[in-house]
Amino acid sequence: MDAEIPVNADALTYPFAAAPQPGSAREIAPGVLWLRMPLPMALDHINVWALAEADGWTVIDTGMHTGASEAAWQKALAQPLGGRPVRRVVCTHMHPDHVGMAGWLTHRFDCPLWMTRLEYVTCRMLVGDTQREAPPDAVRFYQACGWDAQALAHYQARFGSFGKRIFPLPSSFQRISDGDTVEIGGRPWRALIGRGHSPEHLCLYCPELALLISGDQVLPRISSNVSVFPTEPAADPLAEWLASLSELRQRIPDEVLVLPAHNEPFRGLHARLEKLTARHEQALARVLEALGEPQRVIDLFALLFRRPIAADALTLATGETLAHLNYLQRRGHITRELRDGVCWYQTRTVRT
């Protein structure tokens, strides 16, 4: 669920550039293995991490539930993981590429799932929407963004697909909260929560190994999607996202090796956080400038994405554009007017 927007990452270094093939692993620190699971989309992989315990493994993130992931896990469990059992599964957040195989692993090894509460509960809720029809308020939401009949029909036909690549989650979980210390492989890892990409995203920081497992909260070469969805039309995820990036910068030293969920492990955390923040600030400035004239959400795509939006990416492009608009509206910089079911945004005129 990440928008693939290439960004200049020249301040970063990649000490482990050669990624492991699905089913194999690469040790990147004592007892910390890097594995990859294939994804059936343009972003074709997710990194998962296996941390050695005295009697097995803690696995962090799991891949989508597909035949290819099952095959890769079967191979990895037999070989690099040496047939030793998975003792615990931790998911950074609820997106299907992270949580999809969690139920498969916990079921197979009869082990617990550890997550933050909002990620677990939100995932169960969205999986509950699978196979349902698109609700009328969701259709109205996208209509208000300026979608045409064809786009709305495509959305209605695809609605309810969230759970299709998620093996049923276990019916209970172990909660991780911000600031918790979780012992993994005999070492303390500190839990840090980020928001904006997903509701209560977990990062894990091990000072002893100088490692940060960052999930989708910080990615080196792509920028994580920050979206408003029809379930909460007035949400302000961009403010949460920017606050989370700033908090990460304060709480985690620059020297760490970052283990992201996509792309490769990298150094240069603070430079990356600054670049991600600057990108959004520039986007906010561009949007504000364009709103001298009234615009709909879809009118701003060319400005924000600088490439045509494919039908399948329309939801994320709309969500991300709205994240910028809601941010500006909440802070009183722009107004929104509903005309014939469509929202028009414009810079607030200052009356003197």
Q: Does 324 contact Zn ion by CB under 5 A?
A: no
Q: In this chain, which stretch among 89-97, 120-128, 163-171, 312-320 interacts with Zn ion, using CB under 5 A?
A: 89-97
- Give the Cα separation of 195 and 239 in Å (integer): 9
Residue located via tokens 């509206």: 329
> Which residue, 216 or 264, is less far from Zn ion as judged by CB?
216
Question: Which residues face 338 on adjacent strands?
Answer: 343
Q: In this chain, which stretch among 90-98, 139-147, 226-234, 274-282 interacts with Zn ion, using CB under 5 A?
A: 90-98
Question: Which residues face 194 on adjacent strands?
Answer: 201
Q: Does 45 contact Zn ion by CB under 5 A?
A: no
- Give the Cα separation of 227 and 184 in Å (integer): 32
Residue located via tokens 């697909």: 161
Q: Does 216 contact Zn ion by CB under 5 A?
A: yes
Q: Does 36 contact Zn ion by CB under 5 A?
A: no
Q: Does 165 contact Zn ion by CB under 5 A?
A: no
Question: Which residues face 188 on adjacent strands?
Answer: 183
Provide the CA 345 distance to its chain's centre, in angstroms: 27
Q: In this chain, which stretch among 3-11, 123-131, 156-164, 213-221 interacts with Zn ion, using CB under 5 A?
A: 213-221
Determine whether 216 is exposed, middle or buried from the number of CB atoms within 10 Å of its CB (0-12, 13-18, 19+). buried
Q: What are phi and psi of 183, to 5 degrees?
A: -85, 120
> Which residue, 88 or 95, is less far from Zn ion as judged by CB?
95
Q: In this chain, which stretch among 78-86, 92-100, 228-236, 271-279 interacts with Zn ion, using CB under 5 A?
A: 92-100
Q: Does 88 contact Zn ion by CB under 5 A?
A: no
Cα dihedral 16, 18, 20, 21, rounded to 10, equals: 170
Looking at residue 295, what DSSP letter applies? Answer: B
Q: How near is the Cβ of 231 to Zn ion at its closest, in Å?
A: 16
Q: How near is the Cβ of 84 to Zn ion at its closest, in Å?
A: 28
Q: Does 201 contact Zn ion by CB under 5 A?
A: no
Q: In this chain, which stretch among 99-107, 136-144, 216-224, 312-320 interacts with Zn ion, using CB under 5 A?
A: 216-224
Q: Does 95 contact Zn ion by CB under 5 A?
A: yes
- Give the Cα separation of 185 and 183 in Å (integer): 7
**Rg (the chain; Cα; Å):** 21
Q: Is 268 left (phi over 0), alpha (psi -120 to 50) or beta?
A: left
Q: Does 296 contact Zn ion by CB under 5 A?
A: no
Q: In this chain, which stretch among 65-73, 209-217, 228-236, 323-331 interacts with Zn ion, using CB under 5 A?
A: 209-217
Q: How near is the Cβ of 226 to Zn ion at its closest, in Å?
A: 11
Q: In this chain, which stretch among 34-42, 64-72, 126-134, 208-216 interacts with Zn ion, using CB under 5 A?
A: 208-216
Of the candidates 231, 348, 245, 345, the one whose C-alpha atom is nearest the C-alpha of residue 299 is: 345
> Which residue, 126 or 334, is less far from Zn ion as judged by CB?
126
- For the record, the structure tokens of 165 come out as 């690549």
- For the record, the structure tokens of 83 come out as 């047939």
> Which residue, 200 or 216, is less far from Zn ion as judged by CB?
216
Q: Does 200 contact Zn ion by CB under 5 A?
A: no
Site size with Zn ion, rule: CB under 5 A: 3
Cα angle 288, 291, 294 (rounded to 5 degrees) comes to 160
Residues 119-148 that bind Zn ion (CB under 5 A): none
Q: How near is the Cβ of 261 to Zn ion at its closest, in Å?
A: 7
- Give the Cα separation of 316 and 3 in Å (integer): 7
Q: How near is the Cβ of 253 to Zn ion at its closest, in Å?
A: 25
Q: How near is the Cβ of 204 to Zn ion at its closest, in Å?
A: 16
Where along the sequence are the contacts to Zn ion (CB under 5 A)?
A: 1, 95, 216
